[in-house]
Amino acid sequence: MTYLVGEPLDFAADSLAGFVSAHSDLVQAVHGGVVRADASPQGEVAVVVGGGSGHYPAFSGWVGQGMAHGSVCGNIFASPSDSQVVSVARAADNGGGVLLLFGNYAGDCLQFGKGADVLNAEGIDTRVETITDDVASRPVEKWTERRGIAGDFFVVKIAGAAAAAGRDLDAVVGATRRANAATRTLGIAFDAPTLPGAPEPLFTVPEGHYELGLGIHGEPGLSSHPLNGVDEIARTLVDGVLAERPEGVRRIGVLVNGLGCTKYEEMFVLYGRVARLLEAAGLEIVAPIVDEQVTSLDMAGVSLSVIFLDDELEELLLAPALAPAFTRGAVEHAGPRREVAAETGAELASGSPESAAQGARIAEVVELMARTAVEDSDFLGKLDSIAGDGDHGQGMVLGSRAAARAASTAVAAGAGAATVMRQAGLAWAEGAGGTSGALWGRALEAVGAALSDETASDAATVIAAVAAGAESVPANGGAEPGDKTMVDATTPFAASLRAAGDDLPGAFSDAATAATAGAEATADLVARKGRATTHGDASLGHPDPGAVSFARHMTRIAEHLAGKA
């Protein structure tokens, strides 16, 4: 478990602040993450990495010369928001374009993709590349759909070296793609991580066994095996990463990576066996790394990553670098400190008295959602840990609390109903991050877009606005009914609202009942979207946490409107 914790929900922010203080010569804080402290050459491509916190040194520990120019830092095991992506990328940009680089997870793809759209619209040439090195997560014919785990290190190192060499954005992207295609990782876990402040780990590993094919977000492994000693583990990991060895490759980079609790002496024991097996396979190891590079809080486990090298990839892998968590060769500080402009919040316009009064009532509902999220947090976290990463309850709390604060601030400024709801949506996405945070945030924004700051909306307009918000979930997330996601609750909810009249409490009550039925029915489904897809039938018999949380929130709102809450 994690012992040095203040407020558990502030753990990621507290950790990042301490990291910046400890490495102020190399990094500086910006909204949403960190960028290099030193200025980079004008025209150099900016490599911006990122993802959820809880994986240090990934990703902030890789910010420095010869590696990344910036890191976007989400909450524990949750992707950052698109606004955080935009903020860090703006601060890191040197005029040569931006490469956004991250592991292939739904929330990261959604949030970084939206951020790229904003940056490109601003005239900053921005590309998006995902890392897909985890051989356990998809078969070889679907390798582009795999997760990104410890092999992230090799891909980021090569991308950063290509940028430092002065290559243009197309060439940096090309080197990054080749590095990703050449990287393979397989990992095992002996024990699960525990979220900061939580009383128990996210899953359990049977005594005398290990889990093979783990994720780095607290997901269980894909299969359980007897723990028969380090020699068997070394053979399993080597066989796994060499199964897709390209024809004619003779030189490889190797990373034996600790996942947080398995320390260096044990990793050296494993590396000795791994090295002998790789050499027996006719491979020459180039500059091996035995270290923690991509952790999962306090998970006990290790992973083995290899990158199959050609002359160009080897040159980039061996190029100098200076970052808080990795140094290679001799690198001097680049020069003056990077100037980063502080971001300022938007000024809120006042609404009409009627709309402002309706905005105040909306803020009460958002505050109710925040209380509901706190009450449901532990339950949702346990449900999510069955085949996911166990952070759904935490994400709902972070998002709804941020939304409630933003709504209250907007009400205090005299904002109308549309602005109150839009501000709540923006804050939810920012506060929670992840797929769920993005979908909830955009849903609230969609509701706000259908309301008005000039007049108070009537019941029929409110019903239609809420239906539009629910309908935005599949439109933004790409899931369909039957995929075992939040959509299985939002779709019947929206359909019920569309068929309702202008009785707001009655319409909400019927729609909440439909959402609850849809959520309960997901227990009979096998996940086709999200992190649970990797675990096959593991979630069968258990409802989807996203669908359940949506239904529970809508039920509480229905009770509130009926005067029962």
* Catalytic machinery residues: 217
Residues 374-412 as b or e (16 or more Cβ within 10 Å = b): eebbeebbbbbbbbbbbbbbbbbbbbbbbbbbbbbbbbe
3-state helix, strand, coil in the chain (%, to 5): 50, 15, 35
Q: Identify the three-state secondary structure at position 298.
A: coil
Q: Give the integer Cα–Cα distance in Å for 53 and 306.
A: 24
| Interatomic CA distance for residues 301 and 262, integer angstroms | 6
* DSSP H stretches of helix in 450-503: 459-477, 487-498
CA neighbor of 493 nearest in space, from 506, 478, 511, 476: 511
Three-state DSSP at 188 gives strand
DSSP state of 136: T
Contacts of 191 (CB under 8 A, 6+ apart): 201, 205, 261, 299, 300, 301
Amino acid at 261: C
> Which amino acid does the sequence have at 137?
S
- Beta strand pairing status for 98-103 and 46-53? parallel
Nearest Cα to Cα of residue 157 among 291, 263, 282, 43: 291
What letter would DSSP give residue 375? Answer: H
> Does residue 72 contact residue 84 with C-beta atoms inside 8 Å?
yes
Instruction: Look at the block and give the residue holding tokens 């060769």.
Output: 329
Contact 19, 56 (CB under 8 A): yes
Dig out the tokens for 493 from the structure.
């909810």
Measure the CA–CA gap between 84 and 111, rounded to whole angstroms: 9
Q: Give the residues across from 322 on adjacent strands.
A: 65, 327
Beta bridge partners of 290: 256
The structure tokens listed for 541 are: 């018999």
Structure tokens at 416: 């109308």
Using alpha carbons, select from 388, 385, 348 the residue that is nearest to residue 535: 388
Phi, psi angle pair for 64, to nearest 5°: 165, 175
